[in-house]
Chain A
Amino acid sequence: MKEKQVKISLSHVAKAFGKKQVLKDVNLDVYDGESVVIIGGSGTGKSVTLKCLLGLVTPDKGTAKMTTDNIGMLFQGAALFDSLTVWENVAFVMLQKKHPNRAAAKKLAIQKLAQVGLKPEVADAYPADLSGGMKKRVGLARAIATNPEIIFFDEPTTGLDPIMSDVINDLIVDCVKKLGATALTITHDMNSARKIADRIAMLYNGEIIWVGTVDELDKTKNPYVRQFVAGSAKGPIQMEVKAE
């Protein structure tokens, strides 16, 4: 893996909101074709890390770079546009072209919807009419619609039942493989992480404190990682219980 090109590079990234230092020194390289999962408790800054990469948040220090801007992103709540139909969401980028061919765009959208296991009938529905799992699938279809080189997933299984979570995990693995894309996922769902990841990185206290494969994850002696994987309240990780 090491001889491969670096596609995503986070180097000494720091970010504070007001007095709150969310990221202190985040370092992580993701190689071409690899699927990396960042795990960490909620509120540790996983989403902020992704937003630094996407340019939605400007880091105070350090650099967050990608080798391409042909990217796709599945948002935590799917972030579908309420005012557009499902197929218009999926084909959004195509429809923003100067003289869009709506028929061709719809055909492509239906094809992408099929890829995430949705029937053509869904194409004309509005996002408000869909269940949480279906929204995630449409979000996934939109993320892969432009055949991106890099795909980001923000908590892809949060809020779904275990079976639907597994369906989404399979779809993610499948889509990423089919596109040959590089994937960066953030989650606190260990089942999901095990299924999706080539490598896992743990974010704690504003830094990546551990990186390794799934096998290494089960063998590590790192007490923070062990506590997180075991899902135990006892250990070095202290949850901030007080309100932010």
Chain B
Amino acid sequence: MQNQFFSFINALGRFVISFFRASGDLILFTAQILLCIFKAPFYIGETIRMSIEIGFYSLPVVALTTVFSGMVIAIQTYEAVSKFSAEGAVSMVVLVAVTRELAPVMAALMVAGRIGAAIAAEIGTMRVTEQIDALSTLHTNPVQYLIVPRVVAGTLMMPLLVLIGDIIGVCGGYLVGVTKMDFNATTYLVNTWNTLKAMDIISGMTKAAVFGFIITVLGCYQGFKSRGGAQGVGQATTNAVVSSSILILIFNYLLTELFFKM
């Protein structure tokens, strides 16, 4: 009994230590990236290539997730409020829910699965095949060449993706409202327009920028420190997706708190 207790304490202690060590590691890694972002040389071509990969090729998944989210929210709101006030409430709730929460979080989780995993796999492969060491011997800083373009592209592209997701999500709500609930099309649009607040859009896009940063930094971090061949790269990919998804949800809460205090 006592033995079990001690081994439990032991395991707990080990977990706490490794947790803090990993956090410290990650913070140092992030600081290193931030220092490199404003230092020449800038790899513009690579940044554009990554922006297209993140921004453009993620559009289909983001469009699909946001349109269905908007549709579901419309139905749920319609069922929850009285029939008399439904028309105004549905358009308002769809707008607020999509722009503040659903578009940023859904898009970020999708991009974490798509881009975070791809980045971890690519950089992890480069690590275990010594391509990252090779960069150093060829007088090229791997953080500047590989990581900065991805982090910059992720941070700039996510807000744009979310803006498009906002529009598509609202369209989802509109489609359900007009076809299923017999709302007047013009009234729905006018209601949406009148409840639209710049702050809703801006807060959602700010969240998106933070999420884009989290996804790319964690993808790069996991790839960069991966070891031990194909299995290590697979592990890095899984870790990148899981850890960035968790951090996205935590930061979503913290940022929401922040925006409501403002």
Which of A's residues lie within 8 Å of B, judged by CB? Answer: 51, 54-56, 69, 71-73, 75-77, 79-82, 92-93, 96, 98, 142
Contacts and interface: CB of A to CB of B under 8 A. Distances in A.
Contacts of A142: 138
B76 interface: no
Contacts of A72: 137
Interface of B: 41, 125-126, 129-131, 133-134, 136-140
Contact of B133 (A56, A71, A82, A98): A56
B133 A93 contact: no
A79 B139 contact: no
Contact of B139 (A56, A80, A82, A96): A96
Contact of A71 (B126, B137, B140): B137
Nearest to B133: A56
A93 B138 contact: yes
12 contacts: A54-B136, A54-B137, A72-B137, A73-B134, A75-B133, A76-B130, A77-B129, A79-B129, A79-B130, A79-B133, A92-B138, A142-B138
A81 B136 contact: no
A51 B138 CA distance: 14
B140 A96 contact: yes
A88 B41 CA distance: 18
The 9 closest A-B pairs by CB, nearest first: A79-B134, A79-B130, A73-B137, A75-B130, A79-B131, A92-B138, A56-B133, A93-B138, A77-B129
A96 B136 contact: no
Contacts of B125: 82
Nearest to A75: B130
A51 B134 CA distance: 11
A96 B130 contact: no
